[in-house]
Structure 1
Amino acid sequence: MLTIAPILLLALAVVLLVRKGGMRWWHAATTALFGYYLASTSIAPNLDSGLAQLTGWVGSIQL
């Protein structure tokens, strides 16, 4: 079974959006800073739990 860290997938998505999708680097930097500060709030555990459930659901899909 192949396991890829969500941070690597998100980093790849950002690089592709910057290079091919017209997203500017300052948009990506602003979004990264928002995520960094959001991680230190009280809602962070709920977001982490939701992301874990979503990745578990996606991982259970049989192709």
Structure 2
Amino acid sequence: MTLNISLVLLLGIVLVVLIRGGTLKAGPAIVSVLFGFFLASTSMAPDINRFVSGVTTVIGQIQF
């Protein structure tokens, strides 16, 4: 059985859990989101996308 979930959705859920658990305050969370948003518009975005795609491919090939 395979489970497909958007990485954005997964990271959003983790962010909400961290904020609600008190591990991460709202201010740093907003700064992190804005950093990611602006980082996506830089020339580094394709390299980051390739890296994340490679990592998720490797994780997807792991057999339990």
TM-score bracket, normalised by the shorter chain, equals over 0.9
- Cα distance, 1:21 vs. partner? 4.6
Segments of 4+ in structure 1 off by > 4 A? none
> What TM-score do the two structures reach when normalised by structure 1?
0.92
Q: CA RMSD in A?
A: 1.0
- Could you tell me which residue of structure 1 aligns to residue 24 of structure 2? 23
Q: Does the C-alpha gap of structure 1 residues 46 and 16 become closer, same or farther in structure 2, counting only changes over 3 Å?
A: same
- Could you tell me which residue of structure 2 aligns to residue 40 of structure 1? 41
Identity %: 38
Unaligned runs of 5+ in 1: none
Question: Structure 1, residues 28-53: CA drift from partner, whole Å, max 9, x if none?
Answer: 11000000100010010000000000
Unaligned runs of 5+ in 2: none
- The alignment covers a number of residue pairs equal to 63
- Give the aligned residue type for 1:2: L
> What TM-score do the two structures reach when normalised by structure 2?
0.91
- Give the aligned residue type for 1:5: S
